[in-house]
Amino acid sequence: RTKMMRPVDGPATATAMMLAVKAQDRGSWHDGLQIEEQKLQQYMCRKQHAMQLRDAVQLHGPSLQPIPTSDADDGFVHLGDSLMLYNEYTDGMLQADVTNAGQKDVSRALAMASLSTSQLFAACPRNVFTVSRVSDEDEFGKSIFVNYGQLVRIGTSPHLYDRPLHMHAGAAATSPDDGTVEVRLHARIVEGTTWRICRGGPKRPGASDAVAVGEPFRLECLSTELCLCSDRTVQMNSYGNECRVFCGSPSNACSGDAAGQLAMPLAAGRWSFMTSRFAEEAMLTRRLGPHASAEEFSDQTRLLHDHAYRATCELQALENEGEGMHYAVLTRIFPMIRSAGMHVPGRLRRMCEATDTGGRGTLSIHSFEGLLTLASVRLKRDELLHIKALFRTEDDPDAVDYRRFFALLSPSFNGAREDVVRDAYSKLEGLAVAREVEVTHLVRHWCPDCHPLVQRGEMTEAEAEAEFLAQWDVVSSDGRVSYEDFRLFYSDVSMAVDNPAPRA
C-alpha cells in the first residue's frame, strides 16, 4: 500500500492518469444516466397521474363534486365540523378512496377503502372529514370546541359512502423494516379508530387549548401510540398517483432519529384542519402572489375546481415541454419493444453492439433507426429528432448513445431480481460437473412452460426451447456459461418487463 501511494515517474504515471480519467468519465456517464432515469420516471408519473385523474372524473365523478365545509367565524374547530386535513410535508390534503369497496360487502369495504394525500384542494366528498368526540363524559365537559389532548374520531363525509367510515390504524406493523402501520378506513367503531389531538409544537404563552383552523397539530392513535403521517412515497389509486398515509413512531415523526426505524421530517406527522375558503385562499395566494391579474386568478380557480380541465392542462404542459416531448417518444416506443417478445430487447441490444464495430457505444442515428424496425418500431421524422436530442453524443452530432437507450429501457437490475438470478446460477453450479455450467445444463433444466407465449398457446414447447437456445452467444469453445453471461441474459429479459410504480 505504501508503494502504491508513492509518486511514480514515466509511463506508469501516464497510464495511471488515463485510468483515472476513464473512471471519472464512467462516473459522470452513470450520474447523467441516473438523472435521465429520474426525469423519465417523473414524466411518466405526471402523465400517468393526469390520465388517471381524467378517467376518474368520468368514472367517479360524484366523489369529486364540490361540497361545503364548516366555516365558523371564531376561527376554531368545533365538534361535528366537516373540514379538510392538510399535511405539511406532502403539501397535500388527506384523501379517501372507496371506489373499490363494495356497497354491501362490509368486509370488502374494510380491505379496499384507502387513504392518501394529494394536491386536490377543492372540497369534495373524498377529502372532507368530520371530527367527533369519543365520549361526552371526557374532561372537556360541554365544550363545543375540539381541544388539545381530547380523544376524537375522524370520519368520512356522508356524501362519500352509504355508511360512515372511520380512520383506523392497524394493530401490527405493516412494514417491519421501518415500523410503520397501515392506516385505512373502517366501517365499525373498533380499537384503532380513537385518536388523540396533540400540539404540533411547544405551546405558546397565552395560546388557547382549542384547536384553531390552520394550526398545526399531531394525531396520535390511542391503541398504537403512533402518529398519523404522510410521506412522498407514491401509491397509485383510482384517482392517480398520490402520497401514502401511515402511522409512524412518535419519536420518528417528531425527530426522525429513532434507531432502526424510518427517519422522516417533523412535517410528515404535522396536520392542519382547513375550511374550503381557507385552503383556496392559501393556495391561490401562494401560486399567484399578491399582484395577480383577474384572468390569472380565474384560471387558477378553475384549475382548483375543474378536475378534467386540470388533467387536460397537465397533459398539454407535458407535451409542450422540451424534455416532455422527448420522453413522450420513449413512452410510445418502449412498450412496443417490450411487447415484441421476451427476447427482442436483448436481441436488439446485441445487434447494436455488432453494428458498433468500433465498440464506442454509439451508432449513427440512421443505423439505429434501421435496427429499431426489427422490433416493428418505425419513427416519424419529429420522433427521430427527439431521439437524437435525448441520446446525442458530444463527439458526433449525427450519432446516438445506444447504451443509454437500453439503460433507460431496462429496469434497475439489482436487489431482489439479482438475488434470484444469483441463486438460480448457484443451483445450476450444484447440478453441474465440477460446478462448470454449460448451455446443455441450461436447456436441460429450463422449463418451456414459463414462456408467456407457451402459456397462451401461441408457441409450442419445442419452439420455445429453440428460441431460448438461440439467445446464448457462448464465447468459450467448450460451451461454458459464466455468471456474467447468465446475468446479462436475464438483464436483457428484464428489459421486456416494465418498471414498477415510481417513487416521488
**Residue 326 confidence (pLDDT):** 77
**Residue 339 confidence (pLDDT):** 87
456-480 average pLDDT score: 80
| pLDDT band of 412, cuts 50, 70, 90 | low
Q: Are 94 and 274 in contact (CB under 8 A)?
A: no
Residue pointed to by grid coordinates 362519500: 160
Distance in angstroms (rounded) separating the CA atoms of residues 488 and 142: 71
Q: H or E stretch including 416?
A: helix 416-431
Reduced 3-state DSSP string for 41-66? HHHHHHHHHHHHHHHHHHHCHHHHCC
Angle of helix 322-339 versus helix 307-320 axis, rounded to 10: 90
Angle of helix 402-409 versus helix 322-339 axis, rounded to 10: 70
| pLDDT band of 317, cuts 50, 70, 90 | confident
pLDDT tens readout for residues 334-381: 889 988 888 899 999 999 999 999 999 999 999 999 999 988 899 988
Q: Rounded mean pLDDT of the chain?
A: 81
pLDDT tens readout for residues 380-399: 888 898 899 889 888 888 89
**Residue 323 confidence (pLDDT):** 64
* Beta-strand relationship, 181-186 and 362-364: unpaired
Q: Are 367 and 348 in contact (CB under 8 A)?
A: no
Within its chain, how far is the Cα of 11 from the centroid? 50
Amino acid (one-letter) located at 387: I
| pLDDT band of 203, cuts 50, 70, 90 | confident
**Residue 441 confidence (pLDDT):** 85
Q: In terms of C-beta distances under 8 Å and separation of at least 24 residues, what long-range contacts does 324-327 make, across chains too?
A: 324/43, 325/386, 326/386, 326/387, 326/389, 326/390, 327/39, 327/40, 327/43, 327/44, 327/390
324 or 138: which carries more pLDDT confidence?
138
Instruction: Please state which of the ranges 97-106, 221-230, 495-504 shows the lowest mean pLDDT.
Output: 495-504
| pLDDT band of 70, cuts 50, 70, 90 | very high
All cell numbers assigned to 387: 431521439
Greatest alpha-carbon pair distance for the chain in Å reads 90
Please report, rounded to a whole number, the percentage of residues in the chain having pLDDT higher than 70: 81
**Residue 78 confidence (pLDDT):** 96
